[in-house]
Amino acid sequence: MNIKRSRMSAEDRRTAILDVATELLSTHPWEEVTVALLLEAAGISKGGFYHHFTSKDDVLEAVLLRLTDASTAAGQDVYERSEGGAVARFTAYLEGTTRWELRHSDKIMGVIRIAMMEGNEAIFLKLEQEARRRATPVMRTLVAEGVREGAFDVVDIDMTVDLLQHAWRMRWVVLAHARERSAAGDLFGGETMLQERLHLEERMTNRLLGCTGAQVRMPRAGEFMDFLRPV
């Protein structure tokens, strides 16, 4: 009765299952991703599955972790390499993180699409929380240093960081729209959308930071041209 299946190393099997789970998650809300479905798609038995994962939620957690952890080090790296005054460092941070995000835009858009799906509210929150947890410390020190140097004049450091992150959060939705538009032939329209959005964020960022002298700059829309012309 037993059907023979391939035997993999634990790691390979794990990633194989995670791949399948990610794939399924990109088309179904998590509650519809049955373990049975997962088993069939991954070509493994229930026992085999539970040999590698303790529960269905364990899979979700692993999927989310894999989707986010690559970005962890990026922001920190940029910060550690940055030089100059607070404004320059903040600008460098913005450029660095944005560039990194653009390089991984497909993955990020995928994650966002998943998180935005109805029924995936818990995923959405977990993801946002995780992203925040990772970015907050660096941003806190950046802002605090700026305040100490007299370059920024903020209402409150924590509140400012929180609002900055919130202000930037919707960018990817705009990016998605812009990409759609340019994919539909209206490249100029897409670029304009992007430009306006970045300009808005730049002004809001400067207002929140209360820059006393030089202004923080967001990356120019030109940097996004590659992004607007997908594969």
- What part of residues 179-198 is at the interface with DNA (CB under 7 A)? none
CB 173 to a second copy: min, Å: 12
Spatial distance between the Cα atoms of 7 and 26, rounded to a whole number of angstroms: 27
Q: Please, are residues 34 and 79 in contact by the beta-carbon 8 Å criterion?
A: no
Work out what residue 172 binds among a second copy, DNA, none; the CB cut-off runs from 5 to 8 Å by kind: none
Tokens in use for 35? 């373990």
In 52-134, beta strands by DSSP E: none
> Is 40 one of the binding residues for a second copy (CB under 8 A)?
no
Which contiguous run of DSSP H or E holds residue 195?
Answer: helix 187-209
Total interface residues for DNA by CB under 7 A? 28
Nearer to a second copy, 102 or 163 (CB): 163
Neighbours of 216 (CB within 10 A): 21
Q: Per 3-state DSSP, what percentage of the chain is helix, strand, and coil (rounded to 5)?
A: 75, 0, 25
Shortest gap between Cβ of 35 and DNA (angstroms)? 3
Given DNA, a second copy, none, residue 63, with its beta carbon under 5 to 8 Å by kind, binds none
Q: Which of 184, 200, 188, 199 is nearest to 225 (CA)?
A: 188
Q: Which of 115, 93, 92, 94 is nearest to 173 (CA)?
A: 115
Residue 118 within binding range of DNA, rule CB under 7 A: no
Site string for a second copy, 176-215 (x = CB under 8 A): ------------------------x--xx--xx-x-----
By CB under 8 A, name the binding residues for a second copy: 121-122, 124-126, 155-156, 159, 162-163, 166-167, 170, 200, 203-204, 207-208, 210
By CB under 7 A, name the binding residues for DNA: 1-10, 13, 33-36, 43-48, 50-52, 54-57
